[in-house]
Amino acid sequence: MSCFSSDPVSYKLYYFNGKGRAEVIRLILSAAGKEFQDIRFEFDKWPEHKPKTPQGMLPYFEFDDVTLPQSNAINRYLAEKYGMFGKNLWERTMIDVIYETGLDLREKMVEAMFEKDEGKKAELFDKLGSEIVPKYLGLFDGFLDKKTNENMFFVGNSVTIADLLVFHLLDGLLQKTPTLLDNHPKLTKNHEKVAEIPGIKKWLEKRPSTEF
C-alpha cells in the first residue's frame, strides 16, 4: 500500500514511556480522531532496541510500508495530512514561526532537565522560572494579541501544530506551576480550546501518567 493512500491500515508510534518528543505526534493523531499503537520502551530496554531503529533514536513512526524517523518531520507530515498546517503559504509560515519558537523553549527546558551537575541544574531551573519561561509566555501572548475569544487558535480558525506544541509545553509547566497562566488570559483560552477538542480530551483522559 502506498504512503500516499488516504489512510493507512495502522499507525505505530515508538518512543520511551513518556511524553517528550512523541507527545505532539500523539496529540495530532488524537485531534484527527485516528487510532494508533502507542509502543513504549522503558529506558533499561532501550539498548537492545536501539540497533533496530532507523537512526538509532526515538521516536519513529510506522505506517503501511513506511518508517519515518525525526519527530518534527513526523509532526509536519501528519499536520499536513490532517489539515493542521495552514491553508496557504503565509499561514504555514506563521505556524512554523510559532512552532520553532516553541522548539527553542523546549530546548532550554530539556537542557535543564538533563543537566547532571546538581548545582548547575538548580541554576538552569532558576533561570527558566525567572527569565526564560516568562519571556516565551510573552512571545506566545504576542501571537494571540489580535485574536478574539471565539477564535483563540494561533493561526487561522482551527487547531494547528503550533497550538499543539505550545499546549504540550505548557501542559508540562502547569503540572509544576498551576498558576503559570494566571496573568495570561488569551494563552489560557488557547490552552483550554485545545484541551476541549474531543479527540484530545479523550487522549488526555486515557494517556499514562509519566514522569516526563
pLDDT band at 147 (very low <50, low <70, confident <90, very high): confident
| Tens-digit pLDDT profile for residues 78-105 | 999 999 999 999 999 999 999 999 999 9
- 38/137 same-domain check: no
31 lies in some domain: yes
4 lies in some domain: no
Question: How many whole angstroms separate alpha carbon 145 and alpha carbon 191?
Answer: 15
pLDDT band at 24 (very low <50, low <70, confident <90, very high): very high
Question: How many whole angstroms separate alpha carbon 195 and alpha carbon 172?
Answer: 14
- 43/96 same-domain check: no
Give DSSP secondary structure letters for 135-204: HHHHHHHHHTTT-BTTB-SSSTTS--HHHHHHHHHHHHHHHH-TTTTTT-HHHHHHHHHHHHSHHHHHHH
| Tens-digit pLDDT profile for residues 64-80 | 989 999 999 999 999 99
Domain membership of residue 121 as a residue range: 89-197
In this model, does residue 41 exceed pLDDT 90?
yes
Q: Which residues pair with 133 in a beta bridge?
A: none
In this model, does residue 1 exceed pLDDT 50?
no
- pTM over cut 0.75: yes
Q: Which residues pair with 61 in a beta bridge?
A: 13, 68
- 122/190 same-domain check: yes
Amino acid identity of residue 161, one-letter, is: I
- 95/184 same-domain check: yes
What's residue 3's pLDDT?
47
Cell of 42: 522503558
Domain tally for the chain? 2
| Distance in Å from the first CA to the final CA of the chain | 35
